[in-house]
Amino acid sequence: MTPETHILVLYTGGTLGMVESEQGLVTAGDFDQRLRKALDQLSPSRRSRLPIFTLREFPQLIDSSSATPADWQTIAAEIADAYDSFDGFVVLQGTDTLAWTASSLAFQLKGTARPVVVSGAQLPLEAAGSDALTNVELALAAAAQPMLNEVVVAFGGQLLRGVCTRKWFTQDHRGFTTPNAPLLGEWVDDRVVLYAGRLLDDQGPAFELPDYARLGQDAIIRLPLYPGISAESVRVQLMRTQVKGAVLELWGSGNLPEDAELLGVLADARGEGKLLAGISQCPHGPVSIGHYAAGAGLATIGVLSGDDMTLEAVFTKLLHLVALNQDEAWQRERFLMPLVAERASGLL
């Protein structure tokens, strides 16, 4: 970090900026002034190690449980517009869908040579015992690290690869984990320590900013298996015309019930060019579609292996590929290709 290092902070809402109301916690503004007041409570040496920043507050602050792909698009567009004017970026938002935002930003801002750090908090900034100030401090410090060429999540003293992140705790201040990928860095003695060998190299920006809003709702859907699932319920969800692809949340190593009708529905969907990708309902480890006879039919009809990618990564990647409006062969090839280290593949 140099004395001129300048970070852009985008504040979109979420618990960290919320205040109490009669209905419970609600989003609240004036965050620039509130945050600077809180940062002034840090010791002078800690305060002086933080970069200067400009904070932009989104006009419509939201609880991130209402976030949509259009919001991910807006955030990426803001960063792309401001890319040449700042050294790093911090996105502050609610924790509920933070891993989805981080995953989507990783694909949209592919190749970023400036840190894009997503953070939030389990408790509001002004609440007793809040984690908001330390998370923002970590996020600002991470955004000033020139070695970071990717989207990361800064939370609970950890730096995590954004596209491998999942919300893991509803209340614990650790908040997030990367079930299949190692930590990228940690907050040690009030400083960022990066694990250099695990970071992405500087590839040079190759941003892809397609129009997600154009796809409408339910372009990509989730189809989690449950015992006794009927082919009919899958058909009703999957065969709607607006559905362009689905994440199949399979059993174990990539299995589904022995049900010819169910496989037939999936084959029909493939016949219509819908992209289907399979992941496991187990939080750790990859799928290996076709390893068991129970999953062999999936490989035959062309279900793509999500390997050890998270649900959030597979969903946002499918959405991204569909929005780019290329032919099916290109989409399938790109899906199977690691674009931003979203396939952790045995890194743990």
Please identify every residue annotated as catalytic.
Answer: 15
Among residues 112, 122, 145, 305, the one that binds ligand ASP under rule CB under 6 A: 122
The site for ligand ASP, by CB under 6 A, has a size of: 10
Cα 268 to Cα 220, 236, 262, 263, 335, distances in angstroms: 16, 12, 10, 9, 20
Contact between 158 and ligand ASP per CB under 6 A: no
Pick the binder of ligand ASP from 5, 15, 130, 177 (CB under 6 A).
15
Q: Considering the complex, state which of residue 154 and residue 275 has its C-beta at the smaller distance from ligand ASP.
A: 154
Three-point CA angle 306, 208, 73, nearest 5° = 90
What are the structure tokens assigned to 43, written together? 């010791």
115 touching ligand ASP, by CB under 6 A: no
b/e for 210-246, b at 16 or more Cβ within 10 A? bebeebeeebbbebebeeeeebeebbebbeeeebbbb
Residue 310 is labelled as binding a ligand: no
Residues 213 and 161: beta-carbon distance below 8 Å:
no
Backbone angles phi, psi at 276, to 5 degrees: -120, 130
Q: Which stretch binds ligand ASP (CB under 6 A): 60-68, 250-258, 277-285, 300-308?
A: 60-68
Of 121 and 277, which has the nearer Cβ to ligand ASP? 121
60 binds ligand ASP, rule: CB under 6 A: no
Q: Can you say how many angstroms the Cα of residue 185 is from the centroid of all Cα atoms in its chain?
A: 17
Q: How far is the CB of 120 from ligand ASP (least distance, A)?
A: 5
Residue span binding ligand ASP (CB under 6 A) among the ranges 58-66, 110-118, 207-215, 269-277 = 58-66
Q: Is 268 in the site for ligand ASP (CB under 6 A)?
A: no
Per-residue mark of binding to ligand ASP, 65-94 (x: CB under 6 A) = x----------------------------x
Of 17 and 297, CB closest to ligand ASP: 17
Q: Does the protein bind ligand ASP through residue 156 (CB under 6 A)?
A: no
Give Cβ neighbours of residue 312 (< 8 Å, ≥ 6 apart): 99, 100, 102, 103, 165, 166
Question: For residues 48 and 171, which CB has a smaller minimum distance to ligand ASP in the complex?
Answer: 171
Contact between residue 100 and residue 67 where contact means Cβ atoms under 8 Å apart? yes
Instruction: Kindly report the number of other CB atoms within 10 A of residue 284's CB atom.
Output: 9
Whether the CB-CB separation of 320 and 342 falls below 8 Å is answered with no
State how far the Cα of 326 lies from the Cα of 330, in Å rounded to an integer. Answer: 6
* Nearest distance from C-beta of residue 209 to ligand ASP, angstroms: 24
Point out the annotated binding site for substrate: 64, 95-96
Give binding residues as ranges: 64, 95-96
Q: Contact residues for ligand ASP (CB under 6 A)?
A: 14-15, 63-65, 94-96, 120, 122
